[in-house]
Structures are given as structure tokens and as C-alpha cells.
């Protein structure tokens, strides 16, 4: 495993971290304990020493805590988890959430503690009014929080303001070759690193959209490059992130021991500043093809779920993107599957009533009702609508 040094703490962190949110079962809010055990064991065996979870990932902290205790691995990994600051209405709430997190994770300290998805300076100012700075100082002095940071999905304008709003130890940003100029972007990465902070990267493959779900034309571009080591779209995507020396670690939401092994192998070779000019030019061509095909920037995180009207939001968006990335028929097939069309209670884009309950949860700031209307227009045109009505009437 390749290790990089956190400039603030001096910790040696594996370049590949385990994002625990996507442990199988996450979509139902019941992460599978056996799958978690297999994934965590494989990760630590491969030298991974950083595990990321959050209070808001249903059931996730509990399963991570149980797994580490059962396998006796707590002392071999850094645990990162996040405060649901938006739910903190008074200063006592910080202790309430934090104590629960320690219990769930079966530990007496958190190595890397984050404000979960601070997207604007106003959000940080609000918790400052509740004396969070004093609370952090007390937790650090007591050794209950080792490093403090924030995760970010806001705009490039707000990011440097937040960097300077507090003496952070680290930050966590969305970063990949398709998002160089989106959210924090490359400018934000450099700004954070120049302040001596560790920078952790999430969504290095955009929830698979830069891996298996990459548009066919982009996959062809990568395979025609004929690189002996970069043999998969995932290898290209991860290596591109690691190519940046400012990146301390990237998180991958690995869902099986096999995937852990594949990514760990890529991490061995993907050193910083190791990509050639030719490889970077290939990635630039892939970005053009990706942007042409991917219309909705949904990463499939499911933060917007469940929809009270039953719409499978990420499923609808994945199908819509597939209809451009691959073919209209592929998108339709995916749409039918994602909408559970044969169940008698289909979860179609047309079920959306525009209540807007989902939109504020979306880290990608997608106007969900408006984009579901696009899905409906493309994947439920008149004749398809008629066929759907007949199908649901029969089932
Ligand atoms: S806006 Fe539409 S998709 Fe979002 S919660 Fe309301 S009904 Fe569901
Ligand atoms: S619409 Fe937004 S919140 Fe919902 S799955 Fe996609 S990226 Fe996540």
C-alpha cells in the first residue's frame, strides 16, 4: 500500500481509504454485517488504515463499530465520522450526538471528525453561535477528537472562505477528472494544501459514473490508449486523483473484498506526478465525451431518499444518463428495472408531485423535480406511458 503523510498530524495514511457508506444494504438503511466484516478485513489486510462513516448514514456507524470490535482492529485504523451539524439546535446537542457516535463506534475517541457537508459560510457561522469552537477545543484537549475538519459540496467561491473561517486540520472534497471546475475543484485542492491541511477526496469515480457506467465512447478512448497498467476506467480515474501530490488520501466506497483488492493494487502503482502527458491528454478527451453524455450529475448517494411519493430518484437519473451514455433502449431497460414496474406500485419519475422535500438533501445541488420532469419527457413519452398503464393495470 502507498502511504501519504497528513501534514498536520504527521499520521501515515493509506492513499486508499475505505468509504463505508456503500457497504451492501445501505440503500435499505440496513448495512449487511457479514459483508462489512469481509470488506473491512480485506481492507486492513491490504494496508488500508482509514475508515470513513457518518452519523447520517443509516446503521453505518453501528456496523462499523461492531465490525472493528469483533475483528479487534480498532487500533489499526483511523476512524472518521461526521457531526450532523444541521440537526444541532443548541450547544448541548454537540455532546449528545458525539457521545452517541462514540457508543455506536465502540471507541473512546474519533481520529478524524468532520462537520458533515458544510456548504456555505453561513452554516458554519450558525454553529459558531452555539459555541462549537469552544466545544471542539475541549474535545481535543480531552483527546476525544484528534483532528478536526469539514466535508464540502458547496461552490468554489465559498470554499476558500470556509478554509479561512477556522484553524482546520483537514478537509474532504469531491474531486475527480470530471469535476476539476466543480465545487472546490482543482483551485480548492491547491488552496487547502497551501494552508498545510490534509486533503481527503470523496467521489473519485463519481459513484461509478467514471468506472463501469462511463459512456461507451469514453471507455473505447481509454482502452485504445493501450496502457499496460491502466487497464480499467476505474484505474484511470483513481490514478488521475492520486497523480496530485496535494491529495493525502482518496475514499472509495468499495462494496466487496474483490473490489478492495483491485483498488489496492491500483494504489500500489499510482504515485503522485506519475502520469505521462499522453495519459493526461487521454483523460482530457474522456472528459469531453463524458460531459456530452452525462446530463444529470447524480452520484447515487441516496441522501435524497426516501421520496414520500415513492420515486426512485437516483434510479431515474441513472437510467436517464444511461440513455445518453449507451443507448435509449439501455436507458429504458434500466428505467423499467429501477421503477419496479412489475410490482403494481411503480416508482416512476411521473410520481413526483414537486413537493421539493428531497432537493435540500442533495449535495450536488440538483433541482430534482425539474430534472425528473426531463426524465419523464425522455423515458415516458406518450406511447411508453400508454404501455406502462397497460402493464400496471395487468399486474
Ligand atoms: S419533489 Fe418529487 S421526488 Fe422530491 S420528494 Fe417530492 S415527490 Fe419525491
Ligand atoms: S439526486 Fe442528489 S441526493 Fe439524490 S442520489 Fe443523486 S446526488 Fe444523491
Nearest-ligand number for the alpha carbon of 300:
2
CB-ligand 1 contact for 352 (6 Å cutoff): yes
Same domain assignment for residues 258 and 331: no
- Taking CA atoms only, the protein residue closest to ligand 2 atom 2 is 362
CB-ligand 2 contact for 302 (6 Å cutoff): yes
Separation of CA 275 and ligand 1 centre (Å):
43
The answer to whether the Cα torsion of 246, 248, 254, 256 is positive or negative is positive
What percentage of the chain exceeds 90 in pLDDT?
68
pLDDT at 256 over 90: yes
Same domain assignment for residues 109 and 67: yes
CB-ligand 1 contact for 307 (6 Å cutoff): yes
Quick one: pLDDT at residue 227? 78
Question: Counting every residue, how long is the chain?
Answer: 395
pLDDT at 322 over 80: yes
Nearest-ligand number for the alpha carbon of 370:
1
- Taking CA atoms only, the protein residue closest to ligand 2 atom 7 is 298
What percentage of the chain exceeds 70 in pLDDT?
97
Phi, psi for residue 129 in degrees, rounded to 5: -65, -20
Same domain assignment for residues 205 and 270: yes
Does residue 303 belong to any structural domain of this protein? no
Nearest-ligand number for the alpha carbon of 362:
2
Does residue 199 belong to any structural domain of this protein? yes
Site to substitute for ligand 2 among 54, 151, 299, most atoms within 8 A of C-beta: 299
Residue 255 and residue 22 in contact, taking contact as beta carbons nearer than 8 Å? yes
Rounded CA gap, 237 and 230, in Å? 9
Separation of CA 139 and ligand 2 centre (Å):
33
Separation of CA 356 and ligand 1 centre (Å):
5
Same domain assignment for residues 232 and 319: no
Task: Tell me the pTM.
Answer: 0.82
CB-ligand 1 contact for 250 (6 Å cutoff): no
CA angle 203, 206, 208 (to 5 degrees): 120
H-helix or E-strand spanning residue 11 = none
Give the mean model confidence (pLDDT) for residues 266-295.
91
| Cell 497523480 sits on residue | 243
Nearest-ligand number for the alpha carbon of 306:
1
Same domain assignment for residues 106 and 72: yes
Separation of CA 2 and ligand 2 centre (Å):
31
Number of domains in the chain: 2
Give counts: helices (H), strands (E), the chain.
Answer: 15, 10
Does residue 302 belong to any structural domain of this protein? no
Phi, psi for residue 325 in degrees, rounded to 5: -70, -35
Does residue 305 belong to any structural domain of this protein? no
Rounded CA gap, 380 and 347, in Å? 13
Q: Please tell me the least confidently modeled range out of 79-88, 132-141, 291-300.
A: 291-300
Does residue 183 belong to any structural domain of this protein? yes
Rounded CA gap, 220 and 181, in Å? 24
Can you give the residue range of the structural domain that contains 36? Answer: 3-291
Quick one: pLDDT at residue 181? 84
Of 121 and 327, which is predicted with more confidence? Answer: 121
Quick one: pLDDT at residue 306? 87
Site to substitute for ligand 1 among 302, 349, 356, most atoms within 8 A of C-beta: 356
Of 303 and 278, which is predicted with more confidence? Answer: 278
Phi, psi for residue 10 in degrees, rounded to 5: 80, 0
**pLDDT (tens digit, 9 = 90+) per residue, 103-138?**
999 999 999 999 999 878 899 999 999 999 999 999
Same domain assignment for residues 220 and 354: no
Please provide the average confidence, as pLDDT, over all residues in the chain: 91
CA 237 to chain centre: 14
CATH number at residue 114: 3.20.20.100
| Cell 440538483 sits on residue | 366
Give the mean model confidence (pLDDT) for residues 307-321.
89
**Which pLDDT band holds residue 59 (cuts at 50, 70, 90)?**
very high
Does residue 265 belong to any structural domain of this protein? yes
Of 388 and 347, which is predicted with more confidence? Answer: 347
pLDDT at 394 over 60: no
pLDDT at 330 over 90: no
The alpha carbon torsion through 357, 360, 364, 365 (nearest 10 deg) reads 100
**Which pLDDT band holds residue 367 (cuts at 50, 70, 90)?**
very high
**Given the CA of residue 302, which atom of ligand 2 is nearest to it?**
5
**pLDDT (tens digit, 9 = 90+) per residue, 197-234?**
999 999 999 888 899 889 889 999 999 987 778 889 99
Q: What one-character DSSP code corresponds to residue 357?
A: T
Which triple of cell numbers denotes residue 24? 451492501
CB-ligand 2 contact for 366 (6 Å cutoff): yes
Separation of CA 143 and ligand 2 centre (Å):
35
pLDDT at 343 over 70: no
CB-ligand 1 contact for 368 (6 Å cutoff): yes
Separation of CA 210 and ligand 2 centre (Å):
16
Amino acid at each position: 500500500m502507498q502511504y501519504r503523510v497528513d501534514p498536520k498530524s504527521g499520521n501515515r495514511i493509506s492513499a486508499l481509504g475505505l468509504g463505508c457508506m456503500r457497504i451492501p444494504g445501505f440503500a435499505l438503511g440496513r448495512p449487511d454485517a457479514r459483508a462489512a466484516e469481509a470488506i473491512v478485513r480485506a481492507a486492513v489486510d491490504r494496508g488500508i488504515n482509514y475508515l470513513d462513516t457518518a452519523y447520517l448514514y443509516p446503521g453505518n456507524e453501528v456496523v462499523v463499530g461492531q465490525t472493528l470490535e469483533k475483528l479487534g482492529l480498532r487500533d489499526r485504523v483511523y476512524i472518521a465520522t461526521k457531526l450532523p451539524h444541521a440537526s444541532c439546535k443548541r450547544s448541548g446537542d454537540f455532546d449528545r450526538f458525539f457521545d452517541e457516535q462514540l457508543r455506536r463506534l465502540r471507541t473512546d475517541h474519533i481520529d478524524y471528525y468532520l462537520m458533515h457537508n458544510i456548504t456555505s459560510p453561513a452554516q458554519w457561522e450558525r454553529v459558531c453561535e452555539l459555541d462549537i469552537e469552544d466545544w471542539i477545543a475541549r474535545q481535543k484537549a480531552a483527546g476525544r477528537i484528534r483532528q478536526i475538519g469539514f466535508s464540502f459540496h458547496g461552490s468554489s467561491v465559498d470554499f476558500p472562505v470556509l478554509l479561512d473561517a477556522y484553524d482546520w486540520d483537514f478537509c474532504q472534497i469531491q474531486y475527480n477528472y470530471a469535476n476539476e471546475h466543480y465545487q472546490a475543484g482543482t483551485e480548492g485542492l491547491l488552496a487547502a494544501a497551501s494552508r498545510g491541511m490534509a486533503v481527503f477526496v470523496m467521489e473519485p469515480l463519481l459513484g461509478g459514473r467514471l468506472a463501469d457506467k462511463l459512456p461507451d465512447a469514453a471507455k473505447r478512448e481509454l482502452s485504445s490508449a493501450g496502457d499496460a497498467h491502466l487497464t480499467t476506467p476505474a484505474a484511470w480515474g483513481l490514478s488521475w486523483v492520486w497523480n496530485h501530490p496535494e491529495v493525502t488520501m482518496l475514499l472509495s466506497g468499495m462494496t466487496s473484498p474483490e473490489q478492495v483488492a483491485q483498488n489496492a493494487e491500483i494504489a500500489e502503482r499510482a504515485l503522485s506526478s506519475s502520469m505521462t502527458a499522453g495519459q493526461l491528454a487521454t483523460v482530457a478527451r474522456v472528459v469531453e465525451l463524458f460531459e456530452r453524455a452525462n446530463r444529470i450529475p447524480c452520484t447515487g448517494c441516496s441522501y435524497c431518499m426516501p421520496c414520500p411519493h415513492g420515486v426512485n430518484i437516483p434510479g431515474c437519473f441513472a437510467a436517464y444518463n444511461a440513455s445518453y451514455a449507451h443507448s435509449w433502449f439501455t436507458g429504458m431497460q434500466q428505467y423499467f428495472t429501477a421503477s419496479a414496474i412489475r410490482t403494481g406500485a411503480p416508482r416512476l419519475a411521473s410520481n413526483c408531485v414537486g413537493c421539493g422535500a428531497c432537493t435540500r438533501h442533495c449535495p450536488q445541488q440538483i433541482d430534482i423535480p425539474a430534472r425528473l420532469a426531463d426524465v419523464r419527457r425522455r423515458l415516458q413519452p406518450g406511447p411508453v406511458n400508454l404501455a406502462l398503464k397497460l402493464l400496471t393495470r395487468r399486474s
